[in-house]
Amino acid sequence: MPELPEVETLRRQLDDALPGLLVTDAWFSPDTPQLLRRQTAAEFLDLVRGRTITRVRRSAKWLIFCLGDDLALVTHLRMTGRVFLRRPTDPADLYLRAKLGLSNGSEVRWCDVRKFGTWDLVADPREVTGPVGPEPLGTDFSADHIMAATRGRRTPIKSLLLDQRRIAGLGNIYADEALWDARIHPLRPAGSITRPEARRLHAAIVSVLVDSLDSGGSSMRDYLDTNGRAGRFQERWSVYKREGLPCSRCAAPIVKTIIAGRGARYCPRCQRKPHKPPNA
């Protein structure tokens, strides 16, 4: 699933190209009935036709097209969603599920192999996103926030990092990479994180996200930017999808474990496993 750097890369490209353009048309594939969740295709078109896209923003992993002050299209790529900016004369894209026609003759194409992506047309994006934590690249995110979010919690730190109510936009890739950078084992109880470790973890999260953004995000199978280009950050992963390969710091083989049903990769030498308490 695309995470913060991938969705933010799309947002920046879309926000450079779309503000000021009117929505002139909309099309939905009949074999994707679950994409548009709150209106029929005809109702959706009636609501958006003639609307101006004022900006494109992001909340956690949601991509939000603002259509004036009172309407927003909140989209989520889920596992395999892609968003392309095309001309009508451009070659057809595989797995096309929806299109928005725009006043300059271009179109936004939504492609999705597995058809898990969602569109919600709402007055307030929070109807869809619910409460989310601070953005990791924003001023509200700090070591103090990490200390407050982890205090007294026994859940593994990896699970806490994936909780969008605590920190917005992190997923498996960047949680694993940041924990490796900060030398913190993913199974460490969140409440055991010390202030120096919180500082390291904050710096690691920010650093890995900025580096990924500079590389256009990570591409494994499905993620491409709006021009159809793959990201490059997967070439610099330290632990994610590298189980069995040597750690770049100490050469110990990277290990994979499962935490709350999610894979977690780490270095067993650089990231010391927590000791179980005597009564555990």
Say which of 11, 58, 61, 109 is annotated catalytic. Answer: 61
Q: Is 98 exposed, middle or buried (0-12, 13-18, 19+ CB in 10 A)?
A: buried
Is 61 considered catalytic here?
Answer: yes
User: Which of 59, 75, 74, 66 lies closest to 131, judged by CA?
Assistant: 59
Torsion of CA 237, 238, 240, 242, to 10 degrees: 110
- Give the burial string for 180-211 (b: 16+ CB within 10 Å, else e): bbbbbbbbbbbeebeeebbbbbbebbeebbee
Angle, CA 112 vertex, CA 133 and CA 82 arms, to 5°: 60
Number of neighbours of residue 91 by Cβ within 10 angstroms: 6
Say which of 2, 5, 125, 136 is annotated catalytic. Answer: 2
Say which of 57, 262, 269, 274 is annotated catalytic. Answer: 262
Question: Where would I find the beta strands (DSSP E) of 70-173?
Answer: 72-76, 81-86, 96-102, 107-112, 118-122
Is 8 considered catalytic here?
Answer: no
Distance CA(67)–CA(79), nearest Å, equals 26
Distance CA(224)–CA(216), nearest Å, equals 9
Q: Quick one: how many helices (H) and strands (E) in the chain?
A: 7, 10
Is 3 considered catalytic here?
Answer: yes
The amino acid sitting at 116 is: F
Contacts of residue 201, defined as CB under 8 A and 6 or more positions apart, other chains included, come to 143, 146, 157, 178, 179, 182, 184, 193
The catalytic residues are: 2-3, 61, 262
